[in-house]
Amino acid sequence: MKKKIMFIKPALETTAVWDPIRTCSYLGMWFLASHLKEKGHDVRYLDEVVRNNGLNKRQLFRRILEGDKITEIPLDISFEEYHARKMDDYHKMTPKEFVEKYTAFRDGKVTRDMVRTGNSIEDTLSEIEKYQPEFVGIPIIASANHIPSLKLIQAIKERFPRVKIMIGGQHVTAFYNEFAKNPNVDYIFTGDAITNIEDVIEGKRTERVIHGGFQTMDNFPLLDPSIIEENDYPREPTYTYTTQGRKSADYMFSKGCFRKCEFCVAGSQKGNHVTAIDYNKVDEQLRIFKEYGIEEIIVQDDAFLWDRNHVREHLPKILGLMKKYGFYWQNNGGVEFEAIDDFVTEQLIKYNQEGEGRCTSLYVPFNPRAWNKGKSAAGTMSQRYHYNFENLKRLREEAGIYVFSSQIIGTPEDTVEIMESDIELHKKIISEGYLDADLTLTATLLPGTRWYDNNKQNLVNPNDWAGYSLFVSHYGTENIPNPKVMEYFMVKRVKELDKYQRTYNWGTAFPSEKKG
């Protein structure tokens, strides 16, 4: 029997000081909606951050946490005014002065200036009223958006008690037992829901918690672009390198990762491995994207280059299919530095020298590995894979690709000395032409990772959900117990590197003004 299902990405509540605003679609939600539509159900997908001019609907408030108590107070200032004032302080103040003014950690409390971006809950409820869905699916893929998600869930259940509410995502998977205590939630999906959501919709499965585990790409459908059209995603996304106004879409050619990084949810998931989409299916998906006017692919794979045993077969096929349709593309999910060998470099240069379409940007993060714990990730990788640095320079100079990296500061093993020396190392890497930019991320204890399991006792306040962000400090370490030190190095590192690099809003809350 045909059912009506509405998927909703809630408005964002992020720190006004440290977080950039990101306009990415939720690929998991899009896959689920496409799957259910393919099965004959009536489906709607709302991205409340961007739909109906949501990006221009911003409200500032202060969130104060003291133990389990959370207090929120409206701020009588616009986001634009706040941001301008923050940037003026950032340029005029020393890192120490800036942190003293903007730190979240005062008097035993966590106090954050927050910005809510997107449509109001009342606006969302109005859309539910018009559509009259039987099921509403809300993905909580980021712990940082825990509070606004719960607010929306409660509001929906109070207004529409007969609507069945389904939740899932990274955060839900990590804390499904806690969500099981929430009377407003009807179905809780852990892991991948793609193989069992239809059974729940059709009443074939009635248990409250459904464990999906890790599912391979052959279980995922073709993405239907018509499902997300009403959200009117901006032609210039705020979570990518510039698309020059080209219509873009997120996509994954593979799922999973062959590494077991302690900071990563994918690497910590039981059963996780790399699984790729059938090439004929990729061909069909790219054809559909082209028909809908999509010109640029934002690649979100955790393992785009797979591993050395597969990359020589996999990469030419993927690049060949994108070239067939003349796609521009950029990698936003991360290409591992160890994989940028001569073969990969030549393939990417060739893509940019022939026919229609170009690779515009590559994200090549210097991530910590098991073999360089307690050491500089960039420093150790530059020694072990020195020749790959020359290939980064070739990608910039011969292919015209914007190549950027990132460094996670404040890892559990970090020291002040490592973070100080890394600033100088990264300045050298950029100034000598190996990278266009190097973003600064803070070590975040994401639930579901080994970092979280081994270090959660060091969280300043576990209810500081906004702190579970790639850009926000929220814990101290054995070597650096004061989290204000992490905030200091965030500001110092960005200010120092911005003398050499050009960054954009998507990678930092402090975009540089330097022109390259």
Query: How does pLDDT run across 467-494, given as a tens digit for each residue?
Result: 999 999 999 999 999 999 999 999 999 9
In this structure, are residues 30 and 51 in contact, taking their beta carbons and an 8 Å threshold?
A: no
Show the beta-strand stretches assigned E in 34-183: 42-47, 58-66, 69-74, 105-106, 109-117, 135-139, 164-168
Q: What is the pLDDT of residue 513?
A: 61
Residue range 328-332: mean pLDDT, rounded = 95
Work out the burial of residue 450: count CB atoms within 10 Å of its CB; fewer than 13 is exposed, 13-18 middle, 19 or more buried.
middle
Residue percentage of the chain with pLDDT more than 90: 84
Residue range 86-93: mean pLDDT, rounded = 97
Query: How does pLDDT run across 43-56, given as a tens digit for each residue?
Result: 999 999 999 999 99
Q: Which of 16-20, 70-74, 307-311, 404-408 has the lowest mean pLDDT?
A: 307-311
Q: What is the pLDDT of residue 259?
A: 85
Kindly provide the b/e burial profile for residues 381-403, where b requires at least 16 CB atoms within 10 angstroms of the residue's own CB: bbeebeebbebbebbbeebebbb
In this structure, are residues 155 and 125 in contact, taking their beta carbons and an 8 Å threshold?
A: yes
Q: What is the pLDDT of residue 1?
A: 84
Residue 306: CB atoms within 10 A of its CB come to 23
Q: What is the pLDDT of residue 23?
A: 86
In this structure, are residues 380 and 388 in contact, taking their beta carbons and an 8 Å threshold?
A: no
For residue 516, pLDDT beyond 70:
no
User: Which residues, at least 6 apart from 429, have a Cβ–Cβ distance to it below 8 Å?
Assistant: 378, 382, 389, 405, 435, 438
Residue range 287-307: mean pLDDT, rounded = 93
Q: Which of 398, 402, 407, 439 is nearest to 242 (CA)?
A: 402
Residue range 135-142: mean pLDDT, rounded = 94
What letter represents residue 205's amino acid?
R
Residue 162: CB atoms within 10 A of its CB come to 6
CA distance 158 to 453: 35
Query: How does pLDDT run across 447-463, given as a tens digit for each residue?
Result: 999 999 999 999 999 99
What are the chain's domains?
A: 4-57+119-217 (3.40.50.280), 240-363 (3.30.750.210)
Q: Which of 357, 346, 360, 362 is nearest to 321 (CA)?
A: 357
CA distance 348 to 425: 26
Summary mean pLDDT of the chain: 94
The alpha carbon of 268 is separated from its chain's Cα centroid by a whole number of angstroms, namely 17
For residue 514, pLDDT beyond 60:
no
In this structure, are residues 109 and 73 in contact, taking their beta carbons and an 8 Å threshold?
A: no
CA distance 416 to 433: 27
Using the 8-state DSSP alphabet, how is residue 149 labeled?
H
Q: What is the pLDDT of residue 505?
A: 72
Residue range 206-210: mean pLDDT, rounded = 96
